[in-house]
Amino acid sequence: MLPDLHTTLQKLHSGETHPAAEIEQSIAAAQSGSCRHVFLSNEFDAARLVAKTPGIVHRPLAGLAVSVKDLFDVAGETTCAGSVVLQDALPARQDSIAVARLRRAGAAFMGRTNMSEFAFSGVGINPHFGTPANPCTGDVPRIPGGSSSGAAVSVATGAAFIGLGSDTGGSIRIPAALTGIVGFKSTARLVPAKGVLPLSTTLDTVCALTRSVPDAVLVHQVLAQRRVVRSPAPLSAYRLAVANTTMLDGLDSTVAQAWNRTLGTLRRAGACIEDIALSEINELRQIQANGGFSAAESYTWHHQLLADRRSSYDPRVAIRIDAGAGMSARDYIALHLARRNWIDRMTEAMQQFDAFLSPTVPLVAPVMADLAPGVEHDEAFFRINALLLRNTSVINMLDGCAISIPCHAGGELPVGLMVWAGALQDDQVLNVALEIENLLRQP
C-alpha cells in the first residue's frame, strides 16, 4: 500500500524525508508506464521548485504532489476539459479558487490530468488523448472510471497524493471505487466552483481523491476553508441505514461479496445498521426523464460550440448534451421544483439516521476494450455508464455529501463502500468513515 499524505507529513516533520525527495518519487511514478495517458501536460520542474521553497514543510500540504483535473483554471494555461474543442482558447488569467487554495497550502502541482470529455461520463474513456488504464486490475486493461479518470490514477499510482477533481453525478467517487482509493464529495456549496468549467451549475461539486480518509479530511479543510469537527464517538454510537431501493440491485459477484462481508464486519464491531426502503429513490428516473440538470445546463454552455465544431466532439458526449436542447424554461423550472420537493421528502425519511451505507457502484471495473470508442460499443458504453452513475448520482440530486472508501479484500478487484447523508452533514459522514476505515484496515 502506498503511503498516504498524513504518513508522509509525519515523516517530513520528523526529518525522515524531505519534500524534494518526495517530489522525485512522484515524478518517477508519473513518468512510468502505469501513468500512460494520465497527464495532458506536466509541471514537474515547477513542482521541484515548490518542494525546495524554504519553509514549505510547515504549510499544510508541505510541497507534496497534487494533480489538477483539466477542468480547473490555472493561470497561464488553457483549460480544455479533456477536449480538442477548446485547444485554441485563451489561457486562464488567474487560478480557479480551488487551485489558489491548494497553492497557498503548499501544493506542488504535477500537471493537468486527463478526463472524460467535458466531464460527461462515469466511464473515463477519452477518444482524443487516450484512456488511463486502471492500475489495480491486473494484466487486462480495465477502465479507471470517470470523469476524474487521470486524477484517480495519479493518486493510485503514487504520482500525486491528492487528485483535484469534480463530482456532478459521481465523477470523484466512481473512479475512487474502481481504483481502490478514497473519494470525498462534499456538500456542493462548501467549495466555490469559480474558475471551473461547468457541466451542471446545479450539481457540480469541487472535491478531491486521496489515499485515506484522514487525507480527505485535510484536503476538504483546505478546499472549503473550514475546520472539520472531529468526534471521539465509536462506530457503535452512530445509527446507520442501508437503503434497499435500487442501490442494491444487480450487484456483481465481487461487489456483493465485498458488500456483505463489510456489513458483517461492521455489525460484529457493534455498528447499528438498519435496512430501510427509502422508496423515494425510485422517483428520480421520472424526475429526470427530460435529461436532468446536466443535459439542460451543459447544452446552455455548449450549444454554440456544438453548432460550430460538432465534428470535434466525442460523439458520446455530444449526444448527451443534445438531450438538453428540447428542455423548455417551464420544464427547467419544474425540474428545480420537483427536486426541492424530493429533497424535502428524502430529508424527512432520513432524519432518524446519522448516515447511510451503500456500494459506491454495483460492479467492478469493466474491461476497457469492451467500451472503446466506436459505434459497435455504444450500447455497452451507455449501459455501463448508467450503472456506474446509478448510486452516486442520488447524492448529487439530494444536495448531499458522500465518501467512497475501499472495502475489498486482498486479491479482489477494487470495490467501494459509500457513506452518505444529506446537505451539510459532511463532518458526520467523515467521522463515520474514519471509524469504518480504521476497522477495515485492521489485520
Catalytic (active site) residue 147? yes
Annotated catalytic residue within 34, 67, 147, 186 = 147
Write down the H helix ranges in 127-227: 149-157, 173-179, 213-224
| Mean pLDDT computed over 137-165 | 96
In this predicted structure, what is the pLDDT of residue 268? 97
Q: Is pLDDT above 80 for 138?
A: no
Catalytic (active site) residue 171? yes
Q: Is pLDDT above 80 for 323?
A: yes
* Measured distance CA(122)–CA(126) in Å, rounded: 11
* Measured distance CA(400)–CA(422) in Å, rounded: 4
Q: Is pLDDT above 90 for 156?
A: yes
* Measured distance CA(43)–CA(133) in Å, rounded: 22
In a 3-state reduction of DSSP, which class is residue 185?
strand
In this predicted structure, what is the pLDDT of residue 137? 76
C-alpha cell, 404: 467512497
Per-residue pLDDT tens for 299-322?
A: 999 999 999 999 999 999 999 999
| Mean pLDDT computed over 179-201 | 98
| Mean pLDDT computed over 121-132 | 98
Share of the chain above pLDDT 90, in %: 98
* Measured distance CA(175)–CA(137) in Å, rounded: 13
Q: What are phi and psi of 7, to 5 degrees?
A: -60, -45
Which residues, 6+ apart, have CB-to-CB distance to 304 below 8 Å?
A: none
In this predicted structure, what is the pLDDT of residue 317? 98
In this predicted structure, what is the pLDDT of residue 201? 98
Q: Which CATH number fits domain 5-224: 3.30.470.20, 3.90.1300.10, 3.40.120.10, 3.40.50.2000?
A: 3.90.1300.10
Local structure of residue 288 (DSSP, 8 states): T
Reported confidence tier of residue 349, pLDDT bands at 50, 70, 90: very high
Comparing C-alpha atoms, which of 144, 120, 114, 305 is closest to residue 203? 120
Reported confidence tier of residue 61, pLDDT bands at 50, 70, 90: very high
In this predicted structure, what is the pLDDT of residue 3? 97
In this predicted structure, what is the pLDDT of residue 1? 86
Comparing C-alpha atoms, which of 209, 188, 235, 177 is closest to residue 358? 177
| Mean pLDDT computed over 193-217 | 98
Q: Is pLDDT above 80 for 237?
A: yes
CB atoms within 10 A of CB 242: 18
In this predicted structure, what is the pLDDT of residue 139? 82
| Mean pLDDT computed over 190-198 | 98
Per-residue pLDDT tens for 374-396?
A: 889 999 999 999 999 999 999 99
In this predicted structure, what is the pLDDT of residue 146? 98
Which residues, 6+ apart, have CB-to-CB distance to 97 below 8 Å?
A: 191, 192, 193, 194, 195
Annotated catalytic residue within 69, 96, 294, 358 = 69
Give CA separation, 186 vs 163, 220, 320, 349, 426, in Å.
15, 8, 25, 21, 6
Q: Is pLDDT above 80 for 434?
A: yes
Annotated catalytic residue within 34, 116, 166, 171 = 171
* Measured distance CA(416)–CA(53) in Å, rounded: 37
- Record the pTM: 0.98
Reported confidence tier of residue 252, pLDDT bands at 50, 70, 90: very high
Point out which residues pair with 406 in neighbouring strands.
416
| Mean pLDDT computed over 101-128 | 98
